[in-house]
Structure 1
C-alpha cells in the first residue's frame, strides 16, 4: 500500500547568520513509518540528524521523537530537539510557550525564546574526569599531544560525549583530527579572548555515527554546560560559536538557571512541504 505524503520541515538550528546553523530534517505525523524506512531516509538526507515526530506514549509529553544520524539512532540530540519542537509547533499551530518531548532518554523540557527554542539539559549518563589512558586516546583522535589538553571530562547525555578543553579558541580551530583513531564522540572547547565573537569556540566529531564534524551541537553544549557550571569553570551564562572550520556560523546560548542548565538558539524553517516515504 502506498503511504500518503507526510508533512515535512527542514529547520536551521543555532544559526548565527542566515543558513549558518545546523539543518535538521523533520518528518511530522510519522506514526506507521517503519524502522527501515526511517533509517533509509536518514541516510538519504545525509544531514547530521533526521527526526520523526510520533504520538507520545507518556501522558506528560506533547510528542515523541526518534532521532537518526546517517548510520545510527540516538536516544537524544540537541539541535534535532530544538528543530523538531519548532516544526511541531509550526505544524500544529501550537502557541504554547512550554513543551515536553519524549525521546530515548525520557522527557525533555522545552521553552520558547525570542528567536527560537531552548531545551533543559538532560542528566548526564556518564560524567567525571577522563583517565590518563583515556586522555591519551582523546589526544590521538584530535591529533594532539596529551600535554595540550588542559582537562578532559565525560559529559555523556545520550550520544556518548567526552570533551577536551584546550588553552584557547585558536587551538580549537587549529585541531586537525585523526578520525580513524577517534574512539568515541569527541568535543573540544576553548575560550575566546574578551570581545571575541563568543565566549567559547566548540567543535564536535562523531565519525562512528556517520558525521565527521557536526556543524552545531546541542547535546555536546548541554553536557559542557552541565560540567562547566557544576565545576565553576563558568557561571551565569555564556555563548558558544561552532562550525567555523566547516563553513557554518553557529551560535549557542547556555545558561545556568534555578531549574537547570538551558541550551538555546534560533530556529528557522528553510524548507516546508511533504515527503514521500
Structure 2
C-alpha cells in the first residue's frame, strides 16, 4: 500500500517555524482507526490529519485528526494545513482563491483559501475558516496561589486588568490563564506534579492556554503559550488554533469589544524557537455578544513523499 503525505508548517509562511503537521491522503486508500493512531504516533508531531472523501459529494473532504496519543474532535492547525493542502491541488495558475468544505467531528467547516499556484512556489497558502461553535464559559475558580505554583510564577504575575483565570470551550475546552506581562509568560517553569493536579483534577481535559497583552510584535494583540501535562512532565505546543478559539471567549467577556468586526493577531511559539502568528476575527453584535468568529493563518509545505505500508 502506498499513501501520499505532506508535511506543513502551519501559522507561518517560513519553513522550520510555526507548528508542523502531517497531512496524509487516504482518499484512494484506507487505514483502520488503530492504524491511523499508530501512524500519528510514527510521525510524532503534535497532530496528524487524514483526508478522506466527504460523506456529501459537494464537500471537499472529511478529516480525522490525531495527536500521537488520541483522536481530536477539532483542532486549528490541522484545519488550516488541510485546507491549504486541498486547495493546492485544485487551483489554476496564479494567485487563486477557493472555498474548501471540510467535514470534522465538530461539524462542517468552511474555509476560504488563497494559494500561490505558480509551479515554482506551489508550497504555501493562507486559509481562514468560520468557527462552528461560539465559546462558552465552564465552571472554574482556582486559587491564584495554586495557579502561580503550578506555573512556577509569583501570585502577582497571575492576571492583568480585569482578566482572571477562566475555563472556556470554543470547540475544545481550555483553562485560560492570563499573565501580567511578557516576562511572566517567558518565565514559566511548570511544576509537573502540581500542574497535572491543578489542571486535571476532575476535569475532562488538561489543556492550558496562557496569554498576556504584552507582545513581541507591535501589531499583535496577545502573546500566548499552550501546555499540557504528560506523566510527570509538561509539554508545549508552538501554535494552537483551538486555544485561540477558546481565548476569544475571554476576550469578549473581559474586554467587551464594541460592535463591529475586530481582527487580532496572537503570537505563540516564540519561546520554543517556532514563532507562529494566528489571526482571529470577531464579529460583535449591537448587544455586545459574539455573533461569529473566524480563525486564519499561513501554511507552508516543507516535505512530501509516499508512505510504504
State whether TM-score is above 0.5.
yes
Which is further off, 96-105 or 142-151?
142-151
State the secondary structure of the residue aligned to 1:123. coil
2:133 & 2:280 partners in 1: Cα distance?
15
Q: Which runs of 4+ in 1 moved over 6 A?
A: none
- What corresponds to 1:222 in structure 2? 245
1:88-146 alpha-carbon deviations (Å, 9 max, x no partner)? 2223458662222111111122112574101222315752462236x666544323455
- Structure 1 residues 90, 270: closer, same or farther in 2, change over 3 A? same
Which is further off, 54-63 or 161-170?
54-63
Give the one of 172, 176, 186 matched to 2:189: 176
- What corresponds to 1:83 in structure 2? 81
Give the one of 114, 120, 133 matched to 1:123: 133
2:303 & 2:266 partners in 1: Cα distance?
26
Q: What's the offset of the Cα at 1:37?
A: 1.1
Question: Greater CA radius of gyration, 1 or 2?
Answer: 2
1:86 & 1:125 partners in 2: Cα distance?
25
Question: Which structure is higher in helix share?
Answer: 1
Which is further off, 212-221 or 112-121?
112-121
- Structure 1 residues 194, 245: closer, same or farther in 2, change over 3 A? closer
Q: What's the offset of the Cα at 1:166?
A: 0.9
TM-score (normalizing by structure 1): 0.86
- Structure 1 residues 146, 159: closer, same or farther in 2, change over 3 A? farther
Residue-pair matches, total: 273
- What corresponds to 1:243 in structure 2? 269
Q: What's the offset of the Cα at 1:263?
A: 1.4
- What corresponds to 1:142 in structure 2? 151
State the secondary structure of the residue aligned to 2:173. coil
Q: What's the offset of the Cα at 1:198?
A: 2.5
1:226 & 1:100 partners in 2: Cα distance?
25
Q: What's the offset of the Cα at 1:74?
A: 0.4
Which is further off, 167-176 or 188-197?
188-197
Q: What's the offset of the Cα at 1:213?
A: 0.3
Residues 14, 300 of structure 2: 8 Å contact kept: no
1:83 & 1:193 partners in 2: Cα distance?
25
State the secondary structure of the residue aligned to 1:220. helix
Residues 155, 220 of structure 1: 8 Å contact kept: no
Structure 1 unaligned regions, length at least 5:
none
State the secondary structure of the residue aligned to 1:175. coil
Q: What is the RMSD computed on CA atoms of the aligned residues?
A: 2.8
Q: What's the offset of the Cα at 1:24?
A: 0.4
State the secondary structure of the residue aligned to 2:42. helix
